[in-house]
Amino acid sequence: MTIQENIPLAPYTTLQVGGSARYFAEPVNEDETVEALRWVRARRLPLFVLGGGSNLLVSDAGFPGLVLHMTLAGIEALDVDAMRDGMRIYSVGAGVNWDDFAARAVAENCAGVECLSGIPGSVGGTPVQNVGAYGQDVSESITRVRAIDATTLERVEFDREACGFRYRQSRFNGADRGRYILTRVDFALRPDGAPKIAYAELLRHFNGAAPTLEQTREAVLRIRRAKGMVLDENDADSRSAGSFFKNPVVSLAEYERIAAASSVTVPHFEAGAGQVKLAAAWLIEQAGMGKGFALGPVGISSKHTLALINLGGAKAADMLRLKDLVQQRVRQRFSVELHPEPVMLGFGEID
């Protein structure tokens, strides 16, 4: 495996900003991944695992250690012998493009990931923040995650329970952040299963009809495109990292304080255990920053309030300035803290 030097990272990210990786390697299997880990450990360098770069903001200074770009390939549909409870198990390499897998599952009429069509990035990136959209998330179908422990170099496996999935969270971006390099993910999908039509936009779209998996995928892609949420080089609104801010979860008392001070209804959702999830997009709009807002070479997507975009030629510093401004306006208006969803690389501790 070749270790390359001074590789610009911007082209490996959907935001297309940021500096270079001092060292860069593309392991194609687990042995090469372990080899790269030995290399980085011998030199006491920091390590960063890169998937599709779709949930990532790289600093202008870049990264002084080794960036491991995961390219492990292969989608294996295990045969009937491996079926559990009538489910088909797909074992997928971490480097596979997520939507290639989602498209294949739908083409093979297997239900479980159809609402996640069109999400950019790699399969290995999906368990990290428990990727979700339109009423479905990967924790519903993942049965096993295979990984290499960067501290021991051992191969390890986690079942769904052990992954610690929650809203946009797992052990891989929580307590064990940076420790495991995910190499394969297994998904249990239901052959000839019905699509999950639970999200308001999909319910509205199908209006009581019973769509096929393929029709559901098409509807999701159409809705996502209208929001600039499908990567398209001709759509500047898709030069983003998806939603830049998480929907804040606050206490019921906090929500009641905000609702009492507002002259209009505050959109909110039950988040369990006396917690309420607020809509980050609504908070941002109410704080006076709407779709199409621009700040030099960066802005808010003209189609989606939560997507901060690179209008062309932006630096990471420009993105940070906009992130700070949005957070500051929402803090001033509601005393609520917005937390970024993308991973920040090379900035030190920023949130």
| List 40, 56, 281, 308, residue binding ligand FAD (CB under 6 A) | 56
53: contact with ligand FAD by CB under 6 A:
yes
Candidates 88, 160, 168, 239; catalytic one: 168
Least Å from the CB of residue 233 to ligand FAD: 12
Please say if 243 is a catalytic residue: yes
10: contact with ligand FAD by CB under 6 A:
no
In DSSP notation, 72-116 reads ---EEE--GGG-BTTBEEEEEETTSBHHHHHHHHHHTTEESSGGG
Task: Write out the two tokens for 103.
Answer: 């498209």
Candidates 54, 139, 141, 243; catalytic one: 243
- Map residues 158-197 to x or -, x wherever contact with ligand FAD holds by CB under 6 A: -----------------------xx---------------
14: contact with ligand FAD by CB under 6 A:
yes
122: contact with ligand FAD by CB under 6 A:
yes
CB 115 within 8 A of CB 202: yes
126: contact with ligand FAD by CB under 6 A:
yes
User: What residues does 283 pair with on adjacent strands?
Assistant: none
| List 242, 248, 299, 340, residue binding ligand FAD (CB under 6 A) | 242
320: left (phi over 0), alpha (psi -120 to 50) or beta: alpha
Nearer to ligand FAD, 152 or 262 (CB): 152
Least Å from the CB of residue 208 to ligand FAD: 25
346: contact with ligand FAD by CB under 6 A:
no
Least Å from the CB of residue 298 to ligand FAD: 15
Q: 105: closest CA among 122, 90, 95?
A: 90
Which residue stretch of 24-32, 159-167, 240-248, 325-333 sits at the interface with ligand FAD (rule: CB under 6 A)? 240-248
CA distances from 230 to 95, 118, 211, 237 (A): 19, 6, 22, 9
278: contact with ligand FAD by CB under 6 A:
no
Nearer to ligand FAD, 304 or 315 (CB): 304
Work out the angle at residue 331's Cα, subtended by the Cα atoms of residues 329 and 336, and round it to the nearest 5 degrees: 135
Query: For the chain, how long is the longest CA-to-CA vector?
Result: 61
Question: What single letter denotes the amino acid at residue 167?
Answer: Y
Total site size for ligand FAD, rule CB under 6 A: 33
59-98 binders of ligand FAD (CB under 6 A): 70, 94
Taking the C-alpha atoms of residue 14 and residue 244, their distance in angstroms, rounded to an integer, is 12
CB 145 within 8 A of CB 158: yes
Pairing mode, strands 155-159 and 249-251: unpaired
Binding site for ligand FAD (CB under 6 A): 14, 48-56, 70, 94, 119-122, 124-126, 128-129, 131-133, 181-182, 229, 231, 238, 240-242, 343
Residues marked as catalytic: 168, 243, 341
